[in-house]
Structure 1
Amino acid sequence: MKRLFKAILLFILFGFLLSPCEAAGGSEHDVLLKRAHELQLQYKETEALAVYEQVLTTSPDNYEALCSASLLHTRMGHRFEDDSRKINHFSKAKDYALRAYALDSVDANSNYVMAFSLASLAMVSGPKQRLAVTNQIKSYLDAALRADPKNADSWHLLGRWYFKMANLNFAEVAASKMIFGGIKEKATNQDAIHALEMAISYNPNQLNYYYDLACIYQEMKNKEACASTLQRVLTRDLQLHTKEELELSRRCKIMLQEQLK
């Protein structure tokens, strides 16, 4: 009887220490966010996005949902061939990213989704618009890495940024000088290689990191480094879950065969 009374007393005591949401097993938003995260882990990104946007209908300032919705819209945009669908997804991604950034301009996630959405929109924009956002992208990535120096995705996107800036064509360089007074920050292929190696060091199971690095070496006509990079990833025996990953793996194998000729 004493044990039962003690158990009831402890239950009441700890019940008062919990918030109403915690006592009830978490808020509805917490449940939905957990569900969305689980769907992402299962590579059901369309379903996950729908849940994140469901959260945002009743909680428009939910930081996690804003960052995740932005990220997923950007990823989905890259899967379409026509620019209209790409722009639709990339524009939504930017809108969500801006809202997340307004809530927290220091965090790595808000800065990364800002950079990712802008870089993606730049791909389907005209030369002037594309050049206009290049420095913005770099500033967001720098902020993301200040907040989280081990953020592999930010290192990866930074590597792609360096490669693009190191290989601007004559028209892009001329336009930049005429409209914006030139490129503010110089970039080299070695900068791109370093950034991608950092991304790989923090997340060695991302196939696209290796593929982009191999493409840089291929552009530099460094067949040995290109082949070595591809062999590094193909011998990891990564689990491939999506059509994009399977296609990327196929490209890696074809590229390796070409480099070994």
Structure 2
Amino acid sequence: MAAVAGKGSTEQLLKKAEELMGNYRDSEALAMYEEVLQAAPDNYTALCKASYLNCRIGERVTDEGTKVAFYLKGKEYASRAYELNPKDAESNYAMAVSLGAMAMVSGPKQRLAGITQMKSFLDAALASNKEHAGAWHLLGRWYFKMANLNFAEAAASKMFFGGVCGEATNEEAANAIQTAIKYNPINIQYYYDLAMVYKELKSKESCTETLKQAIALDVTTKDELELARRCKIMLQEYSK
């Protein structure tokens, strides 16, 4: 692929990549961000976006080896971005996303370690930008995961990591995801995850209201349509 000619071309590529990413044309957007990085390896925006896209694409891949390769690349880009700007919200968010992704394909102890490490990066992201919807959503997922560890996981967390799960509750998970929705009210993933938290809390009214809001959203992509389908099924089950 041809290298980027100069600053003007870089800005044009970044703009086009952002449009592609917004339209969920992830592979095309990633290729464009990586084209920028060929000519400008320290382009901070491209590093953050390429990291996130590698993790997002990897999540949809079924082959385990390919999935891990995407996640490793995402972690590499996130680490490079973090080195450039360790206090910015986007680099910290990229680190948290990549740690969470790698945790899901790791052994039990490594998984718990990755999930534990995510928290400091999410806190830093929100300290830099308190309106970062993605960070609030991921924090909600973190609370939910840590609040619902099984006995072995909770024991390992206490032994190896000082029991960081102690501060995590399902209520905190709900509050965090509610805040994510406040700052980005059109992301159906946020509503689906919030409904799952309410289901765990056995809060039928809040769960059904959240599902109704999710179904009312205008969705177009394959992933969004699948989430809308799941929300409809859950709502039908609750309405019986």
TM-score, normalised by the number of residues in structure 1: 0.86
In the aligned structure 2, how far is the partner of 1:69 from the partner of 1:61? 12
Aligned-partner SS, 2:164: coil
1:192 is aligned, of 167, 170, 173, to: 173
1:175 aligns with 2:156: yes
Structure 1: gaps spanning 5 or more residues: 1-24
Matched with 1:239 is 218
The count of corresponding residues between Structure 1 and Structure 2 is 235
In the aligned structure 2, how far is the partner of 1:193 from the partner of 1:239? 23
Matched with 1:151 is 132
Deviation at 1:221, TM superposition (A): 2.3
Amino acid at match of 2:236: Q
Amino acid at match of 2:187: Q
Amino acid at match of 1:162: Y
Amino acid at match of 2:39: T
Aligned-partner SS, 2:171: helix
Matched with 1:254 is 233
Matched with 1:63 is 44
Amino acid at match of 1:106: K
- 1:104-143 pair list within 5 angstroms: 104-143=85-124
In the aligned structure 1, how far is the partner of 2:7 from the partner of 2:70? 31
In the aligned structure 2, how far is the partner of 1:38 from the partner of 1:175? 43
In the aligned structure 1, how far is the partner of 2:165 from the partner of 2:227? 33
2:84 is aligned, of 83, 89, 103, to: 103
In the aligned structure 2, how far is the partner of 1:149 from the partner of 1:106? 13
Matched with 2:3 is none
Do 2:196 and 2:207's aligned partners in 1 also have CA atoms closer than 8 Å? Answer: yes
1:78 aligns with 2:68: no
- Describe the superposition over 1:59-103 as per-residue Cα deviations: whole angstroms up to 9, x where unpaired: 100001000100100100110123222211111101000000000
1:41 aligns with 2:44: no
Deviation at 1:106, TM superposition (A): 0.8
In the aligned structure 1, how far is the partner of 2:176 from the partner of 2:25? 29
Aligned-partner SS, 2:60: coil
- Describe the superposition over 1:200-242 as per-residue Cα deviations: whole angstroms up to 9, x where unpaired: 111111101010010111122222221111112223xx23221
Amino acid at match of 2:163: G
Q: Percent identity?
A: 57
Deviation at 1:26, TM superposition (A): 5.5
- Describe the superposition over 1:145-200 as per-residue Cα deviations: whole angstroms up to 9, x where unpaired: 01110111100000000000000000101222333343365210000000010001
Do 2:157 and 2:165's aligned partners in 1 also have CA atoms closer than 8 Å? Answer: no
Do 2:154 and 2:163's aligned partners in 1 also have CA atoms closer than 8 Å? Answer: yes
TM-score, normalised by the number of residues in structure 2: 0.93
Matched with 1:205 is 186
Amino acid at match of 1:245: E
In the aligned structure 2, how far is the partner of 1:26 from the partner of 1:122? 37
In the aligned structure 2, how far is the partner of 1:150 from the partner of 1:239? 23
Moved over 4 A (4+): none
Measured on the aligned residues, the alpha-carbon RMSD in Å equals 1.5
Larger-Rg structure:
1
Matched with 1:220 is 201
In the aligned structure 2, how far is the partner of 1:101 from the partner of 1:222? 39
